[in-house]
Structure 1
Amino acid sequence: MELRHLITFRTIIDVGGFKKAAEQLGYAQSSITAHIKELEKELGYPLFDRLGKKVVLTQTGERFLPYALDIIRLYTESKEVIRQTDQPSGDLTIGVSESLLIYWLPNIITAFMHQYPEVHLTVKPIDYEDLADQLKQNEIDVALLVETNSWLSSELKIHKLTDEKLVLVHPPKKETTNMLVTEYTCSWRPIIEEYLTYHSQPTENKLELPSIEAIKKCVLLGLGKSMLPQFVVKEEIDQGKLHYEKTKFEDSIAIYAAHHKDKWVSANINALLELLP
């Protein structure tokens, strides 16, 4: 069983087809097909069903996938261990929630790149609903995210970095009956729903928007009020562009770093964790 065959297998799943996998890996499409045929011959079962232009995993493919991912992960980690030095180097992929990526992380990235120039840093969005899988499958090495103050996960090693405030903001001197809310996948959406259960008025409208930045811009334009992390709106509050009200939910969120509990913590990951506030 060759590693390149396993990488081809994983890439087909990641990109959704043999042709796209060939483009990504720099092989001819016939080579991709040959890799899978050799792997299927060795295993004795088909890994994919070819349904026209679409390929889907067979039951055997589904069962084999986690083992293939583990082999690839262990190979990658073994190479990192062998070439490991005191100075962090090589690849590091960070998954970050939208609010942190825009308002919290840029200065940290700048400091990290200045301090560790040999690290090739990649930043990706996190999928809140599939975060454990993103980390387990090595799509990202570390996740940085906003979660509730009581957040726990049996699959992840969690580092609470700092407590944050969730503030109710509205435009100054403007009456508004609209409540602008995040998508349901957002970690603090349940807190907003709890607030609305006890404080909403019959005349209030609830408007769901797809991004934190969109919500803030709409509040600044006077289209409604919203509950957002304080670090997102601190500048506008300090400048008097937004006002905020105290609620019992203020101390309900925090900023976390997380990695999979079985993840080997490399020098790169340690360097990042030590730099975080």
Structure 2
Amino acid sequence: MELRDLQIFQSVASQGSVSQAAKELNYVQSNVTARIKQLEKELKTPFFYRHKRGMTLNAEGRKMLEYVNKILQDVEELEQVFLDSDSPAGMLKVGTVETVSELHTILASYYKEYPNVDLSLQAGLTEELIQKVADYQLDGAFITGPIKHPLLEQYDVSTEKLVLVTQNQTFHLEDIITTPLLVFNKGCGYRSKLEQWLKDEGLMPKRIMEFNILETILNSVSIGLGVTLVPQSAVEHLSTTGKVHCHPIPSEYGNFSTIFIRRKDVYMTNSMQSFLEIISEHRHINSVSRG
């Protein structure tokens, strides 16, 4: 068994397709197929369900992937420990929820100070980003917090308020019953707060419409399709023009924090250390300006 076999296995598991894995790794497709078969032969276990749409991990494959992710992470960490220089460089894989208002200034500051770091950004929902950081697929992520997770540590980024966004200036809470809720998919922290609030109020909306893009949700609210709950900063550009209206909600549901998470047991590279310093500096500047 070679290290590249594990890298091939990880790619096929992630892509769900030999052809896509071959493209990602820049390998010949037949080579990828052969290496997967050899790996299964060596370990005397099939790892995939093979079907017309591609390949899907079976139970043994999912167990194998946990080990492979850890092994490859350890190899990457080993290289970083011995090759990491005083000047941050290399790759930093970061996830983020869509509504982090501070993100663009944090990234701009980081790019300006550390141009040799290849920082890749992946959007997602809070729950899936937590899982990806825990599974070593991301070095860290901006999510809605706080959280309690035995494998992760968290760093404060910002504190904001959630507001109920409607087309009309006058809106009564009871209108929720007949008005569609426009929300992100399950796993979104804002959606969880909205659903908990309505549950505690004894209100059950008749229709929930799911979207993947914040701008689509806000534009849909502006034309009267429904209502939503988002950070106040994310909707200011529309509320100032009167296209939508924001309504405060009880503080126990309306206050939320954005945090940055990373695994506790992963080696702290210079790239990550400098990224956390930028986050801390940015938070300090904001707290001083608000004070």
The TM-score with structure 2 as length reference comes to: 0.81
Structure 2 contact 165–227 (Cα < 8 Å) conserved? yes
For 1:103-142, what aligned pairs fall within 5 Å after superposition?
A: 103-142=101-140
Sort the Cα spacing of 1:63 and 1:230 in 2 relative to 1 into closer, same or farther, 3 A: same
Structure 2 contact 95–129 (Cα < 8 Å) conserved? no
Question: Deviation at 1:198?
Answer: 6.0
Sort the Cα spacing of 1:38 and 1:255 in 2 relative to 1 into closer, same or farther, 3 A: same
For 1:32-71, what aligned pairs fall within 5 Å after superposition?
A: 32-51=32-51, 54-71=54-71
Percent sequence identity is: 28
Amino acid across the alignment from 1:232 = A
Residue 161 in structure 1 maps to residue 157 in structure 2: yes
Q: Distance in 1 between matches of 2:230 and 2:57?
A: 41
Q: Distance in 2 between matches of 1:21 and 1:40?
A: 17
Gaps of 5+ in 2: 284-291
Sort the Cα spacing of 1:166 and 1:34 in 2 relative to 1 into closer, same or farther, 3 A: same
Specify the alignment match of 2:215 in structure 1. Answer: 213
Q: Distance in 2 between matches of 1:50 and 1:36?
A: 12
Structure 1 contact 169–226 (Cα < 8 Å) conserved? yes
Q: Distance in 1 between matches of 2:45 and 2:206?
A: 55
Q: Distance in 2 between matches of 1:224 and 1:12?
A: 41
1:138-194 per-residue CA deviation (whole Å, 9 max, x = no partner) reads 3211110223xx532223212222221112333464668435331332212232224
Sort the Cα spacing of 1:161 and 1:173 in 2 relative to 1 into closer, same or farther, 3 A: closer
Q: Distance in 2 between matches of 1:113 and 1:78?
A: 25
Specify the alignment match of 2:235 in structure 1. Answer: 233
For 1:1-277, what aligned pairs fall within 5 Å after superposition?
A: 1-51=1-51, 54-100=54-100, 103-147=101-145, 150-171=146-167, 173=169, 177=175, 178=179, 180-183=181-184, 184-197=186-199, 206-210=207-211, 211-238=213-240, 241-249=243-251, 251-276=254-279, 277=283
1:97-141 per-residue CA deviation (whole Å, 9 max, x = no partner) reads 0112xx431222222111110001111112433333311333211
Sort the Cα spacing of 1:221 and 1:46 in 2 relative to 1 into closer, same or farther, 3 A: closer
58-67 or 114-123: which moved more? 58-67
Sort the Cα spacing of 1:3 and 1:220 in 2 relative to 1 into closer, same or farther, 3 A: same
Structure 1 contact 167–230 (Cα < 8 Å) conserved? yes
Counterpart secondary structure, 2:94? strand
Structure 1 contact 174–222 (Cα < 8 Å) conserved? no
Amino acid across the alignment from 2:84 = Q
Amino acid across the alignment from 2:61 = G
186-195 or 41-50: which moved more? 41-50
Amino acid across the alignment from 1:182 = V
Aligned-pair RMSD on alpha carbons?
Answer: 2.8
Amino acid across the alignment from 1:95 = G
Gaps of 5+ in 1: none
Counterpart secondary structure, 1:24? helix
Structure 2 contact 157–260 (Cα < 8 Å) conserved? yes
Q: Distance in 1 between matches of 2:144 and 2:11?
A: 30
Q: Distance in 1 between matches of 2:190 and 2:270?
A: 32
Q: Distance in 2 between matches of 1:259 and 1:205?
A: 38
Counterpart secondary structure, 1:145? strand
Counterpart secondary structure, 1:32? helix
Counterpart secondary structure, 2:143? strand
Aligned length: 272
Structure 1 contact 108–275 (Cα < 8 Å) conserved? yes
